[in-house]
Amino acid sequence: MVTPVLVSGDGTLVYNGGPVSATVPAVRDEAIDTTGDARGSFSLAGVSVAYGKDLVIEGVDMHIPPQAVTALIGPSGCGKSTLLRCLNRMNDELGNVHIGGTITLDGQSIMGKAMDPVELRMRVGQVFQRPNPFPMSIYDNVAYGPRTQGVRRRGELDGLVEESLKGAALWEEVKKSLKKHAFELSGGQQQRLCIARALATKPEVILMDEPASALDPISTQQIEDTIAELKSSVTIVIVTHNMQQAARISDRTAFMLRESLEEPAHLVEIGDTKKMFTNPDDERTESYITGRFG
């Protein structure tokens, strides 16, 4: 169905006559704190997303703490990936997507003209569902981001490449064959190469959209280990379908739900992963999680 949506002059979504955030009860996120010097924390307030005139996400309030893993879970079609793409403005590339509410990265708005999406993406990297290395050498893949930022010196690039490949736990496997074509790597190696490629720009946040869904169990394990290593230095937001995975690797979990096709998706609950998986506040969360386990 088509929900009438308007984008008002200041960029907020207006719907059924009033601002969107006013029409739904906001989920309070207790973890919001804007103090601290850690980088890479997102705050979302009343975030709504519409594809054309179709409202797909409504009124998300959420804090994503720095240097931790936040998992977005929920049934397919609940807008997890769409919400993820709001954080690095990749929705801009789809065209015809309107985003309302406010999203701030370290206190600074990333919405509209307040932020150049190109600069935002240098700070917020992304790893995709399927490994998507560029058709070039391993080295050139990792060096792509730094080169985009204007790094030209060979020594500096070499250092960044090595550091990033180590960060993605791929260095030992490829250090002798950096000139090899990336397509010669296995699927799991390719995905770790993509993580290394994202790390090379020294991002504050890495967004991961079901990064292990196309991989075998052993490669999945390696990716999860890598994520555990990384979170001491970078904020990670991961979308996953896999409940066990969310339970294993994340510090906080957000549960999103689109209750019917006629209404937009919204955030049901967000909290510490342990609490979410043992004693969630909302019974919908519980039934989703247990249903998946059962």
Interface with another protein by CB under 8 A: which residues?
39, 88, 90, 93, 106, 108, 116, 118-123, 125-126, 128, 130, 132-136, 144-145, 148-151, 183, 194, 197-198, 201-202, 204
Q: How far is the CB of 143 from another protein (least distance, A)?
A: 11
Q: Which is nearer to another protein, 14 or 199 (CB)?
A: 199
Q: In the bound complex, what is the minimum distance in angstroms from residue 168's beta carbon to another protein?
A: 14
Q: Which is nearer to another protein, 93 or 172 (CB)?
A: 93
Q: Which one, 145 or 280, has the nearer CB to another protein?
A: 145
Nearest distance from residue 205's CB to another protein, in Å? Answer: 12
| Ordered strands of the 124-127 beta sheet | 124-127, 205-209, 235-239, 69-73, 252-257, 266-272
**Measured from the CB atom, is 233 or 290 closer to another protein?**
233
Whole-angstrom distance, CA of residue 255 vs CA of residue 269: 5
> What is the closest distance, in whole angstroms, from the C-beta atom of residue 164 to another protein in the complex?
12
- C-beta closer to another protein: residue 108 or 244: 108
List Cα–Cα distances, 104 to 10, 35, 72, 115, 198, in angstroms. 16, 14, 18, 10, 21
Q: Which two three-digit tokens encode residue 54?
A: 């179709």
- Residue 87 CB-density burial (10 A; 0-12 exposed, 13-18 middle, 19+ buried): buried
Helix, strand, coil fractions of the chain, as percent rounded to 5:
35, 25, 35
Query: Which of 165, 187, 164, 186 shows the shortest CA–CA distance to 174?
Result: 165
Residues 192, 195, 197: CA angle, nearest 5 degrees: 110
- Shortest spacing between CB 150 and another protein, in angstroms: 3
CB of 277 to another protein, least distance (A): 30
| For another protein, the closer CB: 156 or 259 | 156
Q: In Å, how far are 1, 60, 226 from 211, measured between CA atoms?
A: 31, 23, 12
Reading the block at residue 114, the tokens are: 């307040």
